[in-house]
Structure 1
Amino acid sequence: MRCNVAPRSLGYSPYFNLNRPLTRRSLRAIRNVLLSTHHFDENIPIETAQGEAAVLIPLANVMDVPGILLEVRGKTLRSHSGEVSFPGGRVDTNDSSYMDAALRETREELGIGAQNIEILGQVGPPELNLRRNMVVYPFVGFVHAGSPIPDHSTTDDMPLPSCDLDAIRENVSETEVDAVFHLPLSALASPTRLRASLFRGHRPYWAIGVQDLIPNGAPNTEDRSKQNESDDGDDSEIGIGRYGNLEVWGLTGWYLYLLMKRLKLYI
């Protein structure tokens, strides 16, 4: 089954400028939107999942370009190796909340401490992973270059300092992360990057091509792309699209689509 009713991109959002750095004003607007839409109850499990996981959608300015940090999972990992994902993973017994788990995993994978991340809210509802044995809870945050700037009017429209992507790359977990890259917000509205797809075979959304954004090129996807190729949606959980091109799709693509839909970039 093909995607007959594709989502559309407006090419702009009323809450941020696609081509200008995020500011305190834009972060406040994003937080208010997330608070006014969906939030999930951490006490309600989904179906009979055996475990729980949490991910962070990390907004960041890089070289004064607003965007989202994404990672390519390490090639030696047992699941979804070489695929695109947000930082995140299984909730441990020592985690005090799903948000705490998302922050811990971000520190372990990308070396970004919780003190540099400003949580803006949640996007959801949470979804089961492809194997239906894990409930995945998504959070949205902004990665500050230093400690978060106080939220007051004198800094409302000043561009927030950019992260040093090279410095982040020096601190990633070599076993868990093969590459880190920055997906500009403007790319989320670029027709040449968007491919109409179906999440779980029936929910339309955009998959996003990112192959050219990966430093030193994308991992070898030839064998995996043949296995995951599908006309009706996402056979893989996250990462490698049709024809061997690296894409943000599956659960990662779905959460990114939900966020951009909340922020009115997509309709």
Structure 2
Amino acid sequence: MISRAFTTASKSTLPLPPRPSSPYFSLTSPLTQASLANIRNALSASSTPFPENSSETCASVLIPFCNVDDKPGILLEVRDKKMRNHSGEVSFPGGRVDKEDKSLLAAALRETHEEVGILPDQVEILGQIGPPTVSLSGMRVWPYVGFIHASSQTTSPFSSSDPTLPLPCLSMSSLTPSQSEVAHIFHLPFSELVNPLRLRPHLFRSDIQRPYWAITVSDMIEGGSAEWSNDEDQMDEIGGGRDGRLEVWGLTGWYVNLVMNALKVYQ
């Protein structure tokens, strides 16, 4: 168990306030092919190569950007409470890399298909963020950023006659959550990532102590406050959040902050 001193950021370690906009894309208007190109360039400019280590156990996740109901944002899931590890937590689709997977990215795409029903050819990969962090279970987790298209791209992948037009919206009803792993799937609009009513300062890991924003999403999930409440003294990064909130926090929250930092939304 970690002490309460490591669960709440002090005034001297508060993350800087988020910016109300990004120079690369709109937080409120649907993403376009032009904005995806800007995001791809920004992620490439901010990324630093990190070597793979064959002796490590690895997992990979997809950070899925998408348009839903004409709002750009991130697709997230809540892990089923029956799961042995990280039950009841907000997470990205992803999981352990199997020996059958051809690559780290292939594992993320396979897990995304298994967990939420999104086909690999619906995903336009935009880049990576990092460095990949080792989870509390001992796996190094590799994060990939991709845009989820509303349908498979089978002929001319991800092309558009006008790159400034809004990309089609993903229908939440088209998703098929894994009955054994996923309790809920929800869309977190980018505009809510800068909503001060949702943001809580937190320190990432007792050993690292890096400030970041945890994001409250209780109201986005039916029963979010009661069903997913947690013990205040729980180990950092385990559980749904603090004080009865369902939050994007822990490693998932840390990665959201890293990608928003690369896109100049967080500072």
User: Structure 1 length as normaliser, TM-score?
Assistant: 0.89
Tell me how far apart the structure 2 counterparts of residues 259 and 238 of structure 1 sit (CA, whole Å). Answer: 21
Q: More deviation in 9-18 or 33-42?
A: 33-42
- Where does residue 231 of structure 1 map in the other structure? none
CA deviation string 1:50-75 (max 9, x = no partner): x1100000001001100000000011
- Where does residue 78 of structure 1 map in the other structure? 84
Instruction: Give, in angstroms, the shift of residue 226 of structure 1.
Output: 3.2
- Where does residue 25 of structure 1 map in the other structure? 34
- Where does residue 185 of structure 1 map in the other structure? 190
Instruction: Give, in angstroms, the shift of residue 41 of structure 1.
Output: 3.8
User: Structure 2 length as normaliser, TM-score?
Assistant: 0.89
Please state if 1:120 is matched with 2:126: yes
Summarize the alignment of residues 212-223 of structure 1 with structure 2, pairs less than 5 Å apart: 212-215=219-222, 217=224, 220-222=227-229
Tell me how far apart the structure 2 counterparts of residues 155 and 57 of structure 1 sit (CA, whole Å). Answer: 25
- Where does residue 65 of structure 2 map in the other structure? 59
Please state if 1:200 is matched with 2:205: yes
- Where does residue 243 of structure 1 map in the other structure? 243
Q: Aligned-residue CA RMSD in angstroms?
A: 1.8
- Where does residue 252 of structure 2 map in the other structure? 252
SS at match of 2:19: coil
Tell me how far apart the structure 1 counterparts of residues 103 and 95 of structure 2 sit (CA, whole Å). Answer: 13
Tell me how far apart the structure 2 counterparts of residues 19 and 239 of structure 1 sit (CA, whole Å). Answer: 30
Instruction: Give, in angstroms, the shift of residue 221 of structure 1.
Output: 2.8
Instruction: Give, in angstroms, the shift of residue 120 of structure 1.
Output: 0.5
Instruction: Give, in angstroms, the shift of residue 172 of structure 1.
Output: 1.2
Structure 2: unaligned runs, 5 residues or longer: none
- Where does residue 43 of structure 2 map in the other structure? 34
Instruction: Give, in angstroms, the shift of residue 5 of structure 1.
Output: 2.6
SS at match of 1:82: coil
2:140 to 105, 121, 135: 135
Letter in 1 for 2:211: P
Please state if 1:103 is matched with 2:112: no
Tell me how far apart the structure 2 counterparts of residues 12 and 225 of structure 1 sit (CA, whole Å). Answer: 35
Instruction: Give, in angstroms, the shift of residue 152 of structure 1.
Output: 5.7
Letter in 2 for 1:13: S
Instruction: Give, in angstroms, the shift of residue 76 of structure 1.
Output: 1.1
Structure 1: unaligned runs, 5 residues or longer: 229-234
